[in-house]
């Protein structure tokens, strides 16, 4: 079971999740990383779920077209869209207080 470490607002949250877990789907059913993970559409359209991958990124597939469209240059800074990731290895993520597009958090 992958271990997930999630940083937000200066706090660190940890849990183990089942293989092939999508963190936005979990948050949607009020499981970790709910209520800390910011997200909105769950479909790769809004970038509200953008997180920086601190470790474990080498196990993730290449960014899909939605991530490339939403994140652009931010991909080179380690950002990924949590809603587009299915986790099957340990991973450490951080989400900024403010989404990378500068809009106010939901």
* Only segment of 5-13, 47-55, 71-79, 86-94 that touches ligand FES (CB under 6 A): 47-55
In the sheet with 50-55, reading across from the earlier edge strand, the strands are 11-16, 3-8, 91-95, 50-55, 79-81
* Only segment of 6-14, 25-33, 38-46, 91-99 that touches ligand FES (CB under 6 A): 38-46
45 binds ligand FES (CB under 6 A): yes
23 binds ligand FES (CB under 6 A): no
- Binding-site ranges for ligand FES (CB under 6 A): 24, 39-42, 44-49, 81, 83
């Amino acid at each position: 079971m992958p271990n997930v470490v999630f940083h937000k607002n200066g706090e660190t949250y940890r849990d183990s999740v089942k293989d092939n877990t999508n963190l936005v789907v979990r948050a949607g059913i009020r499981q970790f990383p709910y209520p800390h993970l910011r997200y909105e559409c769950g479909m790769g359209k809004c970038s509200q779920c953008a997180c920086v991958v601190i470790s474990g990124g080498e196990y993730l597939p290449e960014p899909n077209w939605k991530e490339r469209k939403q994140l652009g240059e931010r991909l080179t800074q380690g950002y990924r869209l949590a809603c587009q990731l299915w986790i099957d290895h340990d991973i450490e993520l951080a989400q900024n207080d403010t989404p990378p597009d500068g809009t106010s958090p939901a």
